[in-house]
Amino acid sequence: MTNPGCATTVTGKNAVNTVIYAQYVFTDGFKENTNNPGNDAGPEFPPQTTTFPAGDFCTALQECASFTALQADQYDSFDFHFLIGESVYECTAYYDPSANAAHINVQDSDVGQAYEYSFSGYA
């Protein structure tokens, strides 16, 4: 399943590049395990999490991609999902690419639809 009305690729812009992130998995009720290939860069580049208010899905998704691209030394993957109880979109950016659906294994009843994106190239 693709995201509601958005392209399956999104871009984030940092000072140097426009980064393309491609959707590689959709889930419902699960989020990405922090022990994943995107989180293997050591303590210098920990996962970074932020939230965006409920509202337009595509706008929040774009903001998450930009948040990810703007992290120090450009982060290359992110987990984007809706938190039902808080009524916010949560975005967790990971330093390295991660496109293995096997790591989307943390069941959470507070997570609505979840989308995983990873580095796909530069525009």
Q: What is the pLDDT of residues 47-75, one digit of tens each?
A: 999 999 998 999 999 999 999 999 988 99
122 by Cβ neighbours in 10 Å (0-12 / 13-18 / 19+) ranks as: exposed
- 3-43 pLDDT per residue, tens: 667 878 899 999 899 999 999 988 899 999 998 988 998 89
For residue 76, give both structure tokens.
């290359």
Provide CB contacts within 8 A for 123, sequence distance 6+. 11, 17, 18, 19, 20
User: Are the C-beta atoms of 78 and 96 separated by less than 8 Å?
Assistant: no
Per-residue pLDDT, 4:
67
> Tell me, what's the pLDDT at 2?
52
What band does 1 get if pLDDT is binned at 50, 70 and 90?
Answer: very low
In this structure, what are the phi and psi dihedrals at residue 120, rounded to the nearest 5 degrees? -125, -15
pTM for this structure?
Answer: 0.92
Round the average pLDDT of the chain to a whole number and report it: 91
pLDDT of residue 92: 97
